[in-house]
Structure 1
């Protein structure tokens, strides 16, 4: 097949008064039948996402693209609605926050993994959807030691960012999907892939109200509350006292209402100690309610420790869900 030769072009985007510059350059990725232009941004000062032109490609939904044929993501790739991932800007691992996908990549059963096939597939596709290469290289050992303890997912699935690891990092800027960061690394055994769609954190938590508690008790027969106590103690924090005030108000608004207060913990530490701690915390809520004028005959308290988890204790977020106080309506 006749090879098509494409002209190379370069354009200076910004030249500041101190003569530093950012450039996007076109380089060639050679396939069998065509040379594909790859845009690479070279930064001599702080990275600025606005230096990157918008992509007009139809990117689809997160995580935006499938793997090359014969390649598969390893068991349990990470996909989180909001998390932090570090990407190399001028060889400095820099955190970005948003929807995150991280995976280990290997070959299908019966196939051999090809580093060249993976890297050519990635570079070609990213270039075709308007991605701009930001970094292609390795970070120093000193840089790894500086940042690695800040990474909440260090050592996990698809973890990229070690000092002897070649990293390729691209950015896609989309008016519809926002800023998308893609990095990957590979060797002869397999590859790792990270995709982050940058998002600003939106607070979805609201203050627990007496009306919320009353509604849950009426409709569900129970109300699950996350009451703050001092660490590893049964002393209510200021925020915890505010929640208990709302429980008291709900009980005062419905004088026929009786509740059982149940304390629960995650599985961290000794089970016997957890059960006692959960019981002490349930009793702390009961005692506080009595002080606020609720009759003791309307209340009971019991601790269950780790016996009744809401979800599996297999992650920090799930453990947080299990550390709770439940109010159970007594008929």
Structure 2
């Protein structure tokens, strides 16, 4: 009898050692799935694919595709660009998309208190009704914000979305006629922000300046404005600049009677006397380069005006770049 009891106890111990408690097995197999609205780790490798979204059957209208809910309005002039970049959270990682862009801060009409619930329900119901699919609802981490924000050229502008702990809702729309569209918004009881992007590829509009372009400008307006590259603060023409000079020479060879004044211009940075001399030296460099390409010097003259004749106010780098130019003026 004692031997039987001992054998039974030993068998129970062996079986017990081979079996893990059910709770431990469940813990070992359990995978954490982030709940909607919860912060998502930024090391996700999962990417969003528009091809997984079914085509909408709705008539979307024209960009930006829908109005604001009654009683709401744009706080200021919205940011609207024919082609730009906008960041949208995909699995908690801010991903850049390119295309036609609308960004706005949303507020209430006078006498109406802003309601976060009214705005969000209006947006969600309408977007769902036109076949939009919600692809994200949640926040991003501070680390993710620090990683991407300097890449956003519109950070701090109208309708700027994408800050740490900001609740963001993102919808995707796939249309056979309008292409891929992304809509994101964030809101509180103080107001809302709305971004709409119609995904597009860049249409390249930069083209080489040709002799025919120069002749056409001179015939139609008597002037051709060119941006010839020189070494910084020097009159030496760069390789790119020499390409433009070759086109000027070709234009002059095509029209043997054409005579031009080559006029150098600068922005207002630095000393005015220095700038005037620099612009004259650059105009002379262009003239000498043309002479070296068998253009008679009697058909040419060179002048420098420094910053005396700006095309635009010298109040930004973009405007200053417009003022650093060479003008060809027809003199016959």
TM-score greater than 0.5 by the shorter chain = yes
| 281-290 or 44-53, which deviates more | 281-290
Taking a change above 3 Å as real, the CA distance of residues 226 and 138 of structure 1, as seen in their structure-2 partners, is same
Asked whether 1:300 is paired with 2:302, we answer yes
| 219-228 or 165-174, which deviates more | 219-228
Contact 1:262/1:301 (<8 A) preserved: yes
Normalized per residue, the structure richer in strand is 1
Structure 1: how far apart are the matches of 2:314 and 2:112? 36
Give runs of aligned pairs for residues 1-331 of structure 1, distance below 5 A.
Answer: 45-230=46-231, 234-265=235-266, 269-270=269-270, 272=272, 278-297=279-298, 298-305=300-307, 307-310=309-312, 320-331=321-332
Contact 1:282/1:303 (<8 A) preserved: no
Contact 1:279/1:302 (<8 A) preserved: yes
The two structures have a TM-score, normalised by structure 2, of 0.77
Is the radius of gyration larger for structure 1 or structure 2?
A: 2
**Deviation at 1:109?**
3.4
Task: Provide Cα deviations, 1:37-76, integer angstroms capped at 9, x if missing partner.
Answer: xxxxxx9832111111111111111111111222222333
Taking a change above 3 Å as real, the CA distance of residues 111 and 199 of structure 1, as seen in their structure-2 partners, is same
Structure 2: how far apart are the matches of 1:306 and 1:196? 42
Structure 1: how far apart are the matches of 2:314 and 2:104? 22
Structure 2: how far apart are the matches of 1:271 and 1:107? 51
**Deviation at 1:278?**
4.7
The two structures have a TM-score, normalised by structure 1, of 0.77
Contact 2:74/2:105 (<8 A) preserved: yes
Total equivalences in the alignment = 289
Alpha carbon RMSD of aligned pairs, Å? 2.8
SS of corresponding position for 2:113: coil
Task: Provide Cα deviations, 1:208-257, integer angstroms capped at 9, x if missing partner.
Answer: 11111111111121122233344565443322210110011111222322
Unaligned runs of 5+ in 2: 1-30, 37-43
**Deviation at 1:167?**
1.0
| 293-302 or 57-66, which deviates more | 293-302
Contact 2:183/2:195 (<8 A) preserved: yes
Task: Provide Cα deviations, 1:107-161, integer angstroms capped at 9, x if missing partner.
Answer: 2334332222222221111111111111111110101111111111112222111
Structure 1: how far apart are the matches of 2:115 and 2:154? 27
Unaligned runs of 5+ in 1: 1-19, 21-26, 28-42
Taking a change above 3 Å as real, the CA distance of residues 97 and 301 of structure 1, as seen in their structure-2 partners, is same
Structure 2: how far apart are the matches of 1:73 and 1:249? 53
Contact 1:277/1:305 (<8 A) preserved: no
Structure 1: how far apart are the matches of 2:277 and 2:115? 55
